[in-house]
Structure 1
Amino acid sequence: MDRLTVRLPPDLTRRFDAAAAMRGGRSRLLRSLIEGAAQASLPASEARPVTRLEAKLSLRLGVEDLAVLEGEAARAGLSRTQWTVALIRRRLHDRPQLTPSEAIAFIGVQRELRRIGVNINQIARALNTAVLEGQVLDLEMVQLAAFADEIRAHLGGLRDAFQGNLDYWSDR
């Protein structure tokens, strides 16, 4: 049997309990309310499958642990739930978990690598279509070598960033 959990303010809980007492208790009243809502059919155009998580995980932490968790999450720019999910997913799937600022930085690196790739393609096309001799060819080859060095530097930075992300979410 599935279980539903609802969080209510104390005043609303007291009022619901008073109403439920005359109808057989909380469970019976909730079940009848849910059955009534479930029997109300939706128009065909609105009927669509409900996607939901298969399970919910709840944690109870001490005040000190919760404070540390909230501090870590805030430093990463995440809510405590987002941070906890990222930690679990990192351990389960062994993949980087990017914060919003990290994702933006990686998009910037990708954009720069594309720019360099376009420049290299233009140089290669020019080398293939023109007969270059002497200093002109030497200059083009130097520029190609500089682009290759730049790409290697960006790729090294990208590797370091991914490793830093993996290290952050790993055991300390």
Structure 2
Amino acid sequence: MAVLKTTVDNDTKERFHEIALSQGMTEAELLRSVVLMLVDQQEVSADAIVLRPDNTKSSRITVGIPGFLVDAVKTRASSKGMAVSRWVAALVQSNVTGQPVMTDKELLALQASGRELAAIGRNVNQIAKALNIAFEDTDRVKLKLLSELSQVIDDNRSVIRALVRTSQNAWDAD
């Protein structure tokens, strides 16, 4: 994998470190999340990265894993694009809370879906505005097109549900 490097002043480094800790992430994981969001042309803010409940302070737990499982753990963590410790923490979080833990790729897919829904919303707003301006020209709005719009929204919702189900199932025991 490629490596990105930069230099920053000490205050910036310390603030970045504190943000990473508050998110339960390493600096590398936080930086990777920020870079992936930027590459996907999304607005990056501290609020966009908050993924966990208020009590995010990490505690260290030492767990002994039999040697024959270590390679499998490393492989699964790598396949999710996560550090081993983050993958184990996500596995525990998913099993304890019963909620899916989204990977960076899954979060990016959900954010792309959100952009699509926003675009649909803008189109619906334009239709409503056109109808309000010239309500006598309602024949300009084709029912077939509205039906297609409804289908696109339903399809998007199905994709989101499938993504959440897949993410949840990824953390279940095989």
When normalised by structure 1's length, the TM-score is 0.64
> In structure 2, which of residues 62, 65, 72 is the aligned counterpart of residue 68 of structure 1?
72
Structure 2: distance between partners of 1:101 and 1:54: 23
State the secondary structure of the residue aligned to 1:83: helix
Match of 1:119 in 2: 123
User: Is 1:108 the counterpart of 2:108 in the alignment?
Assistant: no
Residue type at the aligned position of 1:77: G
1:120-170 superposed Cα distances (whole Å, 9 cap, x missing partner): 111122123311254x34x2x222211111010000010011011111112
Structure 2: distance between partners of 1:65 and 1:126: 62
User: Is 1:146 the counterpart of 2:153 in the alignment?
Assistant: no
Q: 1:171 to 1:127 in 2, by over 3 A?
A: same
RMSD between aligned residues = 2.1
> In structure 1, which of residues 47, 54, 57 is the aligned counterpart of residue 61 of structure 2?
57
> In structure 2, which of residues 150, 162, 165 is the aligned counterpart of residue 160 of structure 1?
162
Which structure 1 residue ranges, 5 or more long, are not aligned? Answer: 1-50
Structure 1: distance between partners of 2:103 and 2:58: 24
Q: Which moved more, 1:159-168 or 1:121-130?
A: 121-130
Contact kept, 8 Å, 1:123 with 1:144, in 2: the verdict is no
Residue type at the aligned position of 1:132: D
Which protein shows a greater Rg? Answer: 1
Structure 2: distance between partners of 1:64 and 1:155: 40
Over 2 Å off, 4+ runs: 51-56
Residue type at the aligned position of 2:126: Q
When normalised by structure 2's length, the TM-score is 0.63
Structure 1: distance between partners of 2:152 and 2:138: 25
